Amino acid sequence: MLKSIAILICFGIMWVSCFAAGGEAQERNVLYVGSEACKECHDAQFKSFMANSKKAGSFANILRMQKKLSDSEFRDCFKCHTTGYGEPGGFRSAEKTPHLKNPGCEVCHGAGSIHAESGDPSDLKVKVSLKVCNRCHNSERVAAFGFKPILYSGGH
Ligand code: HEC
Ligand code: HEC
Ligand code: HEC
Ligand code: HEC
C-alpha cells in the first residue's frame, strides 16, 4: 500500500514538473535578437533609429558613469539602458551579449526572434503603447528630466 502511494506521488511530481518545463520552454522560445537582425527587412526603420534615436548609443552613456558606481548600482542601469535584461534571451553582459548592449527595437516591439525568422507580423505579440514606454520612462524619471515621451518619438 505504502509503496503504491509512493509510486503515485512520484508520477504526480513527474506530471507536474513535465508541465512546468513545457511552460518554460514555450516562454523561452521567443528570444531577443538585437536591432541588427531587423535591418535586412526594415532598412528604413533601422537606419533612422541608428541615426536619430539616443537609445542606439545609450550603453556608452552608462559606461561613462561606471567608475562612480558599485557593481550592483551599475547592473541596475541595465534594466533600461540595454535590451531584455533579466528576461529569457536578453542582455547579460557586454561580453556575452554585445548585440543587446543598447536599448534597441525590441524594447518597444518585444522580443523578436520568431518574427525575424518568419517575417510574419502576427508573431510580434506587443502592441506598442505608452505602457511599454513607462517601464523605463517612469514617473520618477519623468520628474527628474521634466520630459514625458509621446508614442511616436524616440523610435524611427
Ligand atoms: C525576414 C524579414 C523580417 C525580419 C528579419 C524582421 N521583420 Fe518585421 N516585418 C516583416 C514583414 C514582411 C512585415 C510586414 C510588412 C511590413 O510592415 O513591413 C513586418 C512587420 C513588422 C512590424 C509591423 C507590425 C504590424 O503589426 O504592422 C514591426 C513593428 C516589425 N516588423 C518589427 C521588427 C523587428 C523589431 C525586427 C527585428 C527584431 C523585425 N521586424 C525583423 C519582415 C521582417
Ligand atoms: C527605470 C529606467 C532607468 C534606469 C534604471 C536608469 N536609467 Fe538612465 N535613463 C533612463 C531614461 C528613460 C533616460 C532618458 C531621459 C528621460 O526621459 O528620463 C535616461 C537617461 C540617462 C542619461 C542621459 C543620457 C544623455 O542623453 O545625456 C544618463 C547619463 C543615464 N540615463 C545614466 C544612467 C545610469 C548610470 C543608470 C544606472 C545607475 C541609469 N541611467 C539607470 C532610464 C533609466
Ligand atoms: C521607442 C520605441 C520604438 C523603437 C525603439 C522602435 N520602434 Fe518601431 N515603432 C514604434 C511605434 C510607436 C510604431 C507605430 C505603432 C505601431 O505600429 O505599433 C512603430 C512601427 C514600426 C513598424 C511598422 C511600420 C512603420 O514604420 O510604422 C516597423 C516595421 C518598425 N516599427 C520596426 C522597427 C525596427 C526595425 C526598430 C529598430 C531598428 C524599431 N522599430 C524601433 C516604436 C518603436
Ligand atoms: C528599455 C527601456 C526603454 C523603453 C521601453 C523605452 N525607452 Fe525611450 N529611452 C530609454 C533610454 C535609456 C533613453 C536615453 C538614451 C540615452 O540618451 O542614453 C531613452 C530616450 C528616449 C527619448 C529621448 C530622445 C531620443 O531620440 O532618444 C525619447 C523621445 C524616448 N526615449 C521615447 C520612448 C517612447 C515613445 C517609448 C515607448 C514607445 C520608449 N521611449 C520606450 C529607454 C527606454
List of residues 6+ apart from 94 with CB closer than 8 A: 59, 101
How far apart are the CA of 57 and the centre of ligand 4, in A?
A: 11
Looking from the CA of residue 39, the nearest atom of ligand 3 is 35
Q: What angle do CA 98, 104, 105 make, to 5 degrees?
A: 135
The arithmetic mean of pLDDT across residues 124-134, rounded, is 93
Q: Nearest-CA neighbor of 103 among 70, 136, 64, 138?
A: 136
Looking from the CA of residue 110, the nearest atom of ligand 1 is 35
The arithmetic mean of pLDDT across residues 97-112, rounded, is 98
Predicted confidence band at 78 (pLDDT cuts at 50, 70, 90)? very high
pLDDT in tens, 113-124: 999 999 999 999
Q: Whose CA is nearest to atom 12 of ligand 4?
A: 81
Report CA 78 to chain centroid distance, whole Å.
Answer: 10
Q: Which ligand ends up closest to the CA of 107?
A: 4
**Percent of the chain clearing pLDDT 70 (strictly above):** 77
